[in-house]
Structure 1
Amino acid sequence: MNDTTTNRAPGRPRSERAEKAIIEATLDLLAAESGVAGVSIEAVAARAGVGKTTIYRRWPSKEALIVGALGAAKGELPAPSGASAREDLLEIARTFAAERKKRYSRCFWNVVGGAEKYPELYARYKQDVIEPRRAVIREVLRRGVETGELRADLDIEAGISMLTGSLSTKTPQETFPEGYAETVVDLLLTGIGAPS
């Protein structure tokens, strides 16, 4: 008799294909004109070709599903190399600019635009998707202050808002011109860079 045991949770293993289909279906529905209102567990299940229980095994509610899908679509910011504050901010800004080219940028607008109508969804989106990304920028700015590259009196939160705001103000249909991320970072550093 073989004594080897495996540490697998009971039940069927999760299907990556089903998870991808669920996320894609959620984002498709969220990007539609009806936005958040058009997303339901039933609609996602039908579009993804899975049962509702398959969705509920992964996400306990519609809000959790939407936030999970948005997190998957955005992904994590790249870990800054630490070469310099400018280089780190450029990496982050280029990632933000590239995200606008993705087909799901409208999803984020629909959630942000529906913040008043869906405050719990928006709060969870901010906590689970936006705040971890802001934490990466916060660390870059703090390190820049410590190394003397950035002003000692820098308001870190204002710096984060200046960077993210300039890279997220256009509508989903608009794109950034070539070199926009670099322009944003260089203009930002004009204001927050340490005096020479």
Structure 2
Amino acid sequence: MTTESTMGDGAPGRTPGRPRSERAEQAIIEATIDLLAEESGVAGVTIEAVAARAGVGKTTIYRRWPNKEALIVGALATLKGPLPEPPGRSVREDLLVLGEALAAERHAKHGRCFFNVLGGAEKHPELYARYRQDVIEPRREVMRRVLRRGVERGELRPDLDVEVVMTLLVGPFAMRGPREALAPGFVESAVDTLLRGIARSGG
């Protein structure tokens, strides 16, 4: 375990490589993800537990995140970052870009983190609301733009329910276990199956 003597506040013996503050932040993020993935989930993530596992002082954490909720959301944001902005040449190409990005995010430990947050939404409503606002909504907005652009161009049905379609797009990836490998061509098959239902007739 990394100790406070190597990267805590005012600690001597700085090692080569990334700046001490950057190493400390990475250790804090990793410790938060590890704790969040464990059986106790959100309840097991405390500033004290994160500090102990990361080998830093609590003040090092509080300088970066004001509270536990902000720390958890910050950690989750490193696992589920912004979706790439699709090129916009066609709906199919854009959906394939998004599908490949969703497929690339699959990871066993990461899946447990998100499951624990979603499963604890009732007990931790403020955390879940912040997670949706800061992490999920920006990603959903990328999907909305793709679908709305498709409607405007006449590629997709004019009566399209964008919110429903986003759920259908994410569902095939979210419903599979993190350890369950996606078959070759899965993304293309999922996108084409979706398009058969939402494409404008004759478009």
> Normalized against structure 2, the TM-score is what?
0.86
Name the count of aligned residue pairs: 185
Deviation digits for residues 85-129 of structure 1, max 9, x if unmatched?
111111111111111136422101110111112111111111111
Partners of 2:87 and 2:27 in 1: CA distance? 34
Alignment of 1:114-133 (within 5 A): 114-133=120-139
- Residue 111 of structure 1 corresponds to 117
- Residue 162 of structure 2 corresponds to 156
- Residue 66 of structure 2 corresponds to 60
Deviation digits for residues 120-150 of structure 1, max 9, x if unmatched?
1111111111111000000000111111111
Partners of 1:182 and 1:144 in 2: CA distance? 18
SS of corresponding position for 2:175: coil
Flag the 1:141–1:148 CA change in 2: closer, same or farther, 3 A.
same
- Residue 147 of structure 2 corresponds to 141
| 5+ residue gaps, structure 1 | 1-11
Do residues 100 (structure 1) and 145 (structure 2) align? no
Partners of 2:159 and 2:47 in 1: CA distance? 48
Do residues 69 (structure 1) and 64 (structure 2) align? no
SS of corresponding position for 1:15: helix
Do residues 40 (structure 1) and 46 (structure 2) align? yes
**Percent of residue pairs bearing the same amino acid type:** 66
Flag the 1:119–1:14 CA change in 2: closer, same or farther, 3 A.
farther
| 5+ residue gaps, structure 2 | 1-9, 11-18
Partners of 1:110 and 1:174 in 2: CA distance? 19
Farther-moved stretch of structure 1 (70-79 vs 176-185): 176-185
